[in-house]
Structure 1
């Protein structure tokens, strides 16, 4: 199990996500941003919009995805 924060994934807070894989941690961040946006958190709304915009541009999204996977892989197990 490894841990990354919302901030480490491009978000505005230090909420910790724990997962076995980078894909699981990315999905946890996506859920967190969606929930915060629904709750009216403006700082998370910006991060959510940035994430949605990133996926509209395949090269940007793949660069972010690859970097996130590498960062996750380099983390020590909890």
Structure 2
């Protein structure tokens, strides 16, 4: 298991997301941003908008995805 924070994934908080793979933590961040938006948390809006854009335009977002996978791979096991 490895841990990445909301901030490491482009959000505003230090909330930890844990997972076996980069995809696990990316999906956890997506769920977190959806929940924050639904709760009316404006501090997450910029990150949520960016995440929505990545899901709508996956080919254009491969750079971000590769960067997150690389950052995840470099993390120590926790």
Relative to the length of structure 1, the TM-score reads 0.92
Q: Which residue of 2 aligns with 1:52?
A: 52
Q: Does 1:3 align with 2:3?
A: yes
Question: Aligned pair count?
Answer: 77
How far apart are 1:50 and its partner, in Å?
1.2
Runs (5+) with no aligned partner, structure 2 = none
Runs of 4+ that moved beyond 4 A: none
Runs (5+) with no aligned partner, structure 1 = none
How far apart are 1:17 and its partner, in Å?
0.4
Q: Compute the RMSD of aligned alpha carbons.
A: 1.0
Q: Which residue of 2 aligns with 1:69?
A: 69
Higher helix fraction (1 or 2): 1
Q: Distance in 2 between matches of 1:63 and 1:46?
A: 18
